[in-house]
Structure 1
Amino acid sequence: MTRHIYALRIELSDVTPPVWRRVLVPAGYTLDRVHRVIQYAVGWQDCHLHSFDIDGVTYGAPDPDGLLDAADELDHRLDAVAGKDTRFGYTYDFGDWWEHEITVEDVVAADPAQRYPVCVDGAGQCPPEDIGGASGYAEFVAAVADPAHPRHAELREWVGDHEPPSFDPSRVTTLLRRLT
């Protein structure tokens, strides 16, 4: 039986400079594993709630308080809810409301010599956690770039050096190996 791999493009919405990743993941991954791939690939710390929105259905971790009406992501495989050219949403941190657009760019046969998941391309540095979403990040970028900005020193002290390094897919792949 041929194992299939999904080529996913993950793009963080409404941020400049753009933050995106292209990852190859097994088609049989459950959505909770796709969530963990996104966390490692983009650079989040997985300390907030999240959800997927695929064809009008919300998927996420079971909510013991019943506030999030979502299908259990542990029960749904990627290949059962999405196919080639499917676009769907992933929201991380319901306070900052980081929206990501995920596109299934291709579905291919797995290379038996390759370990998956793997990151093959991308750009941009992930915003810091708890920065206030896209609008807070825009203010953050302006403040850390301008020593005269009233919040420059405060934000530099809080986050340290946030200069965008060149993106390295092999570093992300190393992190993704923790999933296998």
Structure 2
Amino acid sequence: MAREIYQLRIALDGVDPPVWRRVLVPGAFTLDRLHRVIQLAMGWGDRHLHVFDIDGEQYAVPDPDGLLEVRDELDHRIDAVAAKGARLRYTYDFGDWWEHEVVVEDVVPADLGLRYPMCTGGERACPPDDVGGPSGYREFMAAYADPFHPDHEAMRAWLGRDFDPVAFDAGRAGTLLRRMT
């Protein structure tokens, strides 16, 4: 029997215009691997904690101090917690609080000629890590885009690289995803 491939649409909440990705991942991937797919496809730096919220249950790396009650994401496969049409929540960086809606758009048999996971589409660059969540990103963009803004130079120096908010390369995201397997 062919492996099942989940077509997921990952959309970042609280930013406009929308930032989203479409990925194809094996249903047998654990939520730990899905976390890595989201990080690479979106363009995050994987420097912060995260959690999945699926049907009222939370999945993450277990808290060694036991302060948070979560199910171990290593023990749960995508195909065991989601079906076609399911909507999952993924939160990254508990300080900036980046929420993502992950929708299972389709479940299809694997194409044996393809390597998974893969990124098949998306729009716009992911906000920089540590920018301050959706409101901080709006403030960052206002200053970064306007050379006359009083914080323009400070924002450019803080980021330390060029930033094009409309840039997204599905091919590059796909290359990063192929390297994870």
Q: Which TM-score bucket, shorter chain as reference?
A: over 0.9
What displacement does 1:16 show? 2.1
What displacement does 1:82 show? 0.2
Counterpart for residue 128 of structure 1: 128
Amino acid of the residue matched to residue 126 of structure 2? C
The answer on 1:80 being equivalent to 2:84 is no
User: Which shows bigger deviation, 65-74 or 77-86?
Assistant: 65-74
The answer on 1:44 being equivalent to 2:64 is no
Query: What are the ranges of 5 or more consecutive residues in structure 1 without an aligned counterpart?
Result: none
Q: Secondary structure at the match of 1:131?
A: coil
Counterpart for residue 154 of structure 2: 154
Q: Secondary structure at the match of 2:99?
A: strand
Counterpart for residue 95 of structure 2: 95
Q: Secondary structure at the match of 1:101?
A: strand
Q: Structure 1 length as normaliser, TM-score?
A: 0.97
Counterpart for residue 169 of structure 1: 170
Q: Secondary structure at the match of 2:150?
A: coil
Query: What are the ranges of 5 or more consecutive residues in structure 2 without an aligned counterpart?
Result: none
Distance in 2 between the 1:166 and 1:156 partners? 17
Q: Secondary structure at the match of 1:94?
A: coil
Distance in 1 between the 2:178 and 2:68 partners? 30
The answer on 1:70 being equivalent to 2:70 is yes
Counterpart for residue 107 of structure 1: 107
Distance in 1 between the 2:167 and 2:147 partners? 23
Distance in 1 between the 2:107 and 2:166 partners? 30
Distance in 1 between the 2:28 and 2:95 partners? 30
Amino acid of the residue matched to residue 178 of structure 1? R
Task: Kindly provide the CA deviation profile for residues 95-134 of structure 1, in whole angstroms up to 9, marking residues without a partner as x.
Answer: 0000000000000000000000000000010111111000
Residues 123 and 166, structure 2, Cα contact 8 Å, conserved in 1: no
Taking only aligned residues, the RMSD between alpha carbons, in angstroms, comes to 0.9
What displacement does 1:165 show? 5.2
Distance in 2 between the 1:68 and 1:164 partners? 35
Distance in 1 between the 2:53 and 2:10 partners? 14
Q: Structure 2 length as normaliser, TM-score?
A: 0.97
Distance in 1 between the 2:156 and 2:17 partners? 19
